[in-house]
Amino acid sequence: MFAVTATSFDSTDPLSGLTLGDVPDTVVPEGWVRVRVRAASLNHHDLWSLRGVGLKPEQLPMILGGDAAGVLDDGTAVLVHEVIGDPAAGGGDETLDPKRTLLSELHPGTLAEYVAVPERNVVPKPDELSFEEAACLPTAWLTAYRMLATKSGLRVGDTVLIQGAGGGVATAAIQIADVLGYRVWVTSRDEAKRARALELGAAEAFEPGARLPERVDAVIETVGEATWAHSLRSLRPGGTVVVSGATSGPNPPADLARVFFLQLNVVGSTMGTRDELEALVRLLVDTGVRPTIDHVYDLRDARSAFERLASGDVVGKIVLTNP
């Protein structure tokens, strides 16, 4: 079958290890199912894998990708939940299973004609969502949904600041926060991305580090070092910053005096559960909101898709299709 694989690592030139071509057919263990991939979307996790983060040389070649929508062998249309874990081991939450992993880490990923996943890792795809739209949900949109609906403590009418508008998680967070009834503020260095954020549902868009009209109830933080100080300064006393990434670096000054004096909450969040993915799907069906898709490529043109992702000139998700 055709697949997109990591065959080597390079921290400065990750695309040098990207290989497109035929690989052995998918092996389906007992208790797993085979999904014919109709659409898959890219994430920065794929670029980090090509840099050698989360993978070891002995695991190569590894099929990349975690997001997909497709059909089972019996024709059922499904989304793939990419968290491979045991809910019981995580106290009812598979993302807290100490042994949990993601597709393309221990098991082959979704950027292929077929992918195998545990039976519990498929969620029915409603007719209202296209395969391309559904393929955007399992990573960026699920991460954003968990941050907002489960971790933030926000209530209808509260104000949330989303740092770094334009990325997959941030774009999803804008749209989800809007339909959940929150007032949405965003930051971005790029004027066009700020304008696009306003079109997607943000009430205000600011330059990074700008003084805000008032303090916010929560901050959605995926940028890290470059925005951390601003995130803490922007919170009201007792507010919450939810962190799911650190693309600009993971070790900013902690500013612990501000954290304890203002009783701020710093909450980590990673991915989401199968139940949360089902809830996210229902939210999209009920509200009509749909993922923002930056560009669609054929699976066999994956190199162009990766080049676009690596450029950073993206608003929303990049999708690969396998008709």
State yes or no: pLDDT of 167 exceeds 90: no
CA distance 18 to 50: 7
* Burial classification of residue 249, based on how many CB atoms lie within 10 Å of its CB (0-12 exposed, 13-18 middle, 19 or more buried): exposed
Residue ranges of the chain that CATH labels 3.90.180.10: 2-136+291-321
Mean pLDDT of all residues in 206-228: 96
Mean pLDDT of all residues in 239-260: 95
State yes or no: pLDDT of 166 exceeds 90: no
Residue ranges of the chain that CATH labels 3.40.50.720: 141-268
State yes or no: pLDDT of 201 exceeds 90: yes
Q: What pLDDT, in 10s, does the model give residues 309-323?
A: 999 888 889 999 998
- Reported confidence tier of residue 247, pLDDT bands at 50, 70, 90: confident
State yes or no: pLDDT of 42 exceeds 90: yes
pLDDT of residue 204: 97
Q: Does domain 2-136+291-321 have CATH number 2.40.430.10?
A: no
Average pLDDT of every residue of the chain: 96
State yes or no: pLDDT of 207 exceeds 90: yes
- Reported confidence tier of residue 46, pLDDT bands at 50, 70, 90: very high
pLDDT of residue 168: 87
State yes or no: pLDDT of 1 exceeds 90: yes
State yes or no: pLDDT of 262 exceeds 90: yes
CA dihedral sign, ordered 232, 270, 171, 42? positive
Q: What pLDDT, in 10s, does the model give residues 99-158?
A: 999 999 999 999 999 999 999 999 999 999 999 999 999 999 999 999 999 999 999 999
Superfamily of 141-268 according to CATH: NAD(P)-binding Rossmann-like Domain (3.40.50.720)
